[in-house]
Structure 1
């Protein structure tokens, strides 16, 4: 199995952690400040990765440090705008609009950076977005002012993926991701300082359980894998794996929160999984493999 396939599977595992963490975060945050949760989550993830990869951090150069900050900036803004948007819009709208980065990434790649995008990737993105709509928009979408903040979030998440891809071959991806996560932790902590709902030491254990799971699995694991994976996987394919999150979130909701599994969710999940497989199919190889059989029959 190639490195690209291994990292592709690890990214899907990471989105499973994202999906499970959604239920834990929803319970853990409650009515408190989401910025405090994000600050602890990013800080703990950065600390764990810094300890595990301490030797690699010793060779951190000023340029790699600057690259990590540039990677962390759109990630931080994406999280902040998503949080602000959630205060004014529904979880359904937020999930769907955030998922628009699956189209924004290839658009930016093609329009701004003049890099080619395969035709079947565009088809996959459209199919995946339709599947996402099937899952999250069970009762339709009603747009409001919070959706504008969430649209900004989708743009910055797309910028984050493209920035990671830009620096993936220039610097050690684990160095830059540690810096990026630490930068996000500091930025969210600063935002929390201006949040009237901020409680820095919550007594609710569900808050801390959510922090530990989200930090270790949904953040440290996922972003470390992604930063390394983008040496081998194109940005638009990374974006397609992101859309597995609502699939796993729906399953986690069924198992952890007792929510119902609907037919729309099953159909949407099938569309997303099909969209992920489509770009991996080598049509030329299939055609060439069919040629000898046609000659034998003749």
Structure 2
């Protein structure tokens, strides 16, 4: 019976990873018809409205400290998703997935720095693999000399913003680990999602007013599907699955399963939007994936919660 529960839990976590991997392609396509800031606004507004009926008791019984810490969490979550979504307009879904995944190796580094400790050697090795992979994945050349010669040309603003998003996601994970034991999970989940929606709305209006970003929304079946996919499946359903089933899976296996997210994203990008990577891009993807595994498998102090 216990073995059946374990396999069932692993299967559901794998399903989570598949759903998360699919978001990169879904959002990439949707950004042809809706501006990034508005997409984030609507995505998290839908999630907020769906979550609200289930957290009213927790909201009524919350003190100022809980609100303050949840608000900070929401700001970090917004910054991560805003940078990722805007970046996805300018880069490929595959690169976005692998670059976003680097938060796995950045998280223990930030955790060590905050705790005023020296980062462990496995985390340093993971970082080296990951950033070597970024160099390869950013290349369109056919020789090793081309990799470094073209880096400045091929590493664009979208790639940079996606790495920025990985930094914010890593900080989000560290901060969540610091406060999660003190607060109700439902409360934290709702407030951070709601804060993300509110900030995204304000920023979208500010961007529109200052002409930083032209707000567009051409409603069609793909956009509606993308908003429902990201708000319901990739935000609410995955959170419920992770909360229920992750306790039955070892941290090592959980880390391995979650590390598959960029692989699933790359496969989805190839199958759905015919996105391909170069030979060196494939090598870079392997380097990044190896770096994620190194950081996960040899990390003795894992933080198991990940942004969806």
Using structure 2 for the length normalisation, give the TM-score.
0.69
Q: Name the structure 2 match of 1:165.
A: 177
Larger radius of gyration: 1
Q: 1:204 aligns with which of 216, 220, 223?
A: 220
* Residues 1:40 and 2:42 are matched in the alignment: yes
For structure 2, list consecutive stretches of 5 or more residues without a partner in the other structure: 141-146, 301-308
CA RMSD of aligned residues (A): 4.4
Contact 2:28-2:88 at 8 Å conserved across structures = no
For structure 1, list consecutive stretches of 5 or more residues without a partner in the other structure: 284-298
Contact 1:97-1:147 at 8 Å conserved across structures = yes
For residues 183-208 of structure 1, what are the alpha-carbon distances to aligned partners after superposition, in whole Å with 9 as ceiling and x for unaligned? 001111112223353246x4312111
Q: Name the structure 2 match of 1:252.
A: 268
Q: Name the structure 2 match of 1:286.
A: none
Q: 1:68 aligns with which of 55, 63, 70?
A: 70
Q: Name the structure 1 match of 2:91.
A: 90
Inter-CA distance 269–93: structure 2 relative to 1 (3 Å threshold): closer
Cα deviation, residue 8, structure 1: 7.7
Inter-CA distance 5–164: structure 2 relative to 1 (3 Å threshold): farther
Q: Distance in 2 between matches of 1:125 and 1:132?
A: 10
Inter-CA distance 260–150: structure 2 relative to 1 (3 Å threshold): closer
Alignment of 1:264-283 (within 5 A): 265=282, 268=285, 272=289, 276=293, 279-280=296-297
Q: 1:213 aligns with which of 229, 235, 239?
A: 229
Q: Secondary structure at the match of 2:233?
A: helix
* Residues 1:80 and 2:82 are matched in the alignment: yes
Cα deviation, residue 50, structure 1: 2.6
Alignment of 1:1-298 (within 5 A): 12-86=14-88, 89-91=90-92, 94-114=96-116, 119-120=121-122, 122-124=124-126, 126-127=128-129, 136-137=137-138, 139=140, 141=151, 142-144=154-156, 147-194=159-206, 195=208, 197-199=214-216, 202-223=218-239, 243-259=259-275, 265=282, 268=285, 272=289, 276=293, 279-280=296-297
Q: Secondary structure at the match of 2:116?
A: coil
Inter-CA distance 93–273: structure 2 relative to 1 (3 Å threshold): closer
Contact 1:78-1:154 at 8 Å conserved across structures = yes
Q: Distance in 2 between matches of 1:158 and 1:236?
A: 18
Using structure 1 for the length normalisation, give the TM-score.
0.71
Q: Secondary structure at the match of 1:169?
A: helix
Q: Distance in 2 between matches of 1:280 and 1:5?
A: 20
Contact 2:103-2:167 at 8 Å conserved across structures = yes
Contact 2:107-2:174 at 8 Å conserved across structures = yes
| Number of residue pairs matched by the alignment | 280
